[in-house]
Amino acid sequence: MARIQNPLLFSKHFGVDEKELANAGLIDPFLNVDTQLFIDPLLLAKSANPIIAGDAYKHFRSHFSNFIRLLSISQAEGDAAWRGARKLLDLSEPAQTGLGYGGSSRSGSSRPTEVREVIMRTAKEIIDLGANDPEMVALMGFFEENVGPDTISDFTTRVIIESLAAITSHFCTSHAISTSKSSINSAYDVPYFKGSPVLLVPKDIVRDLPLANDWSDIEKAAMQNQAIRDRVNQYLAGIATPTIAQRKMALRNAALASSKEFEHFLGSVKEHVDNYDPNVDALAYYKIREILRSDLASFKQAIVPDIRKGPEQLKELVQATIDQFKHHIEKGNLWEELWDGDKPKKERAAQLIYFAIADCFCKANNVDVSPEANMGGGPVDFKFSDGYSARVLVEMKRSSGTVKHGYEKQLEIYKDASRTNYGIFVVMDFGDLGGKLKEIQTIRQRRLSAGEQASEIIVIDARKKASASKRG
């Protein structure tokens, strides 16, 4: 499981005001962990950055026009044209942008060969219909389950890397940030961190989710086409409640029925795709950066548990970090960061905000322990450890989620894997907790009565509140 400790921001390491990055429309990336944002090639033409909307977009279309031309003349998999197209589809992970599903390491890795072949076969199928728009490669996450946003982001980055290097070099030169000759075969000098080149990415070309998992608007638009709607309905006939996978397969079949249907589908995607909005900040990526850059004095406490005395004191320390998180949500205005209008944000938003607060708490109080969080694509859990024997795990669940399973099973699995009996289960109550709290309290009491270890339960009231001034 990929994990992160001591996150380090580009702005802090290179001594530049984060506002300068914001003014330039650039992400302030972590240097030692990837952020789950992904470059979407369909956003290149929409970018406010002239280098991206101009050079990068033109190069992307030119590159994949050649890719499509080679596939169109290929007579069989493995022939010369097929091999030529294969060389143009570089799925190796660039380690320079700080984006993707990585964790404590940002080192690149290679995609399985089969994923590349799957993309090529699907592209060939589309080409054989008569479609030739090079931006079709952005849709592979719709049509193939094993093609994720990181794959699309990575091959896009490889193609536009010279433009990203130009943007990075220009920013660093104007802000007196040291750069060196790039090892990425670029004409531009770029900054380095621990021997690896760093590239800055414009905010308006990244998304937080795979299009294929966030597609309701696109599906709705595509269904406005009578031919696509009829084919989808025909495929789903007899299925009372089709799953997302079944709906995706139906739309795939409909979209690939002819070049006209495919072009309509691609047009719908282009029309509705949008970048990750920093103002909404659905996953709190910008909020955690703000917290990590804040004055540590606000996190100091008069009395801090002495973790050298053992795991019980470490658990008290962890509870203190949760109490501070709870205070800012229930008594302050941090709850606002957990809502998008009248809808709670995704579970990860609360989890990552807690991680940032806990990290600052430990640094502010000179505690020689850092929270460790897995930052992969799955659930987020937290581990605090001091030495080999003292470990405390924290699992956080939203009230609408699988609260009972999280407490009864999931946290216990994590505890077993980490060889610790100390766990804290945090429930973020958005007003729909219902009887779930009583269920897990009953499980806890049953375990205690049987003489077993039972994880603590903490409930945080994350419901919308009046402003602090109105609460008096």
List per-residue pLDDT tens for the chain, 472 residues long. 356 678 899 999 999 999 999 999 999 999 888 888 899 999 999 999 999 999 999 999 999 999 999 999 999 999 999 999 999 998 887 757 888 765 444 444 445 788 999 999 999 999 999 999 999 999 888 888 778 888 899 999 999 999 999 999 999 999 999 999 987 878 899 999 988 899 999 999 999 866 655 666 667 767 777 878 888 888 888 888 888 778 878 888 888 989 988 998 898 888 888 899 999 998 899 999 999 998 999 999 888 888 888 889 999 999 999 999 999 999 999 999 999 999 999 888 999 899 999 999 999 998 877 787 765 555 567 888 887 678 888 999 999 999 999 999 888 887 887 788 889 999 999 999 999 999 999 999 999 999 988 999 999 999 998 765 554 4
Q: Report the distance separating Cα 102 and Cα 37, nearest Å.
A: 11
Residues 185 and 297 both lie in one domain: no
Rounded distance, CA 64 to CA 92, Å? 17
Question: Is residue 99 located within the same domain as residue 152?
Answer: yes
Strand, helix or coil for residue 284: coil
Residue 12 burial (C-beta neighbours within 10 Å; 0-12, 13-18, 19+):
middle
Give 213's contacts (C-beta < 8 A, 6+ positions apart). none
DSSP state of 350: H
Query: Which residue is it, tokens 């890397």?
Result: 161
Q: Which of 328, 451, 325 is nearest to 382 (CA)?
A: 325
Torsion of CA 315, 318, 324, 327, to 10 degrees: -60
Answer yes or no: do 137 and 235 share one domain.
Answer: no
Domain end point (choices 258, 276, 294):
276
Cα separation, 63 vs 67, in Å, equals 6
One domain, residues 427 and 321: yes
Judgement on whether residues 196 and 220 belong to the same structural domain of the protein: no
Same domain, 315 and 199: no
- 351 and 235 fall within a common domain: no
467 and 338, same domain (yes or no)? yes
pLDDT at 466: 76
What pLDDT does residue 104 have? Answer: 41
DSSP state, 255? H
Residues 177 and 270 in one domain: no
Q: Give pLDDT, residue 330.
A: 96
Picking from 92, 93, 38, 34, the residue whose alpha carbon sits closest to that of residue 374 is 34
The residue among 276, 274, 280, 287 whose CA lies nearest residue 341 is: 280
Same-domain check for residues 160 and 247: no
Of 159, 191, 207, the one marking the end of a domain is 207
Round to whole Å and give the CA distance between 113 and 48: 35
According to the model, what pLDDT value does residue 103 have? 44
Tell me: do 411 and 347 sit in the same domain: yes
Domain membership of residue 402 as a residue range: 285-471
Q: Are 354 and 322 in contact (CB under 8 A)?
A: yes
Domain count, the chain: 3
Residue where one domain finishes, among candidates 207, 234, 268: 207
Give the pLDDT confidence score for residue 1 in this predicted structure.
Answer: 38
Do 196 and 225 reside in the same domain of the chain? no
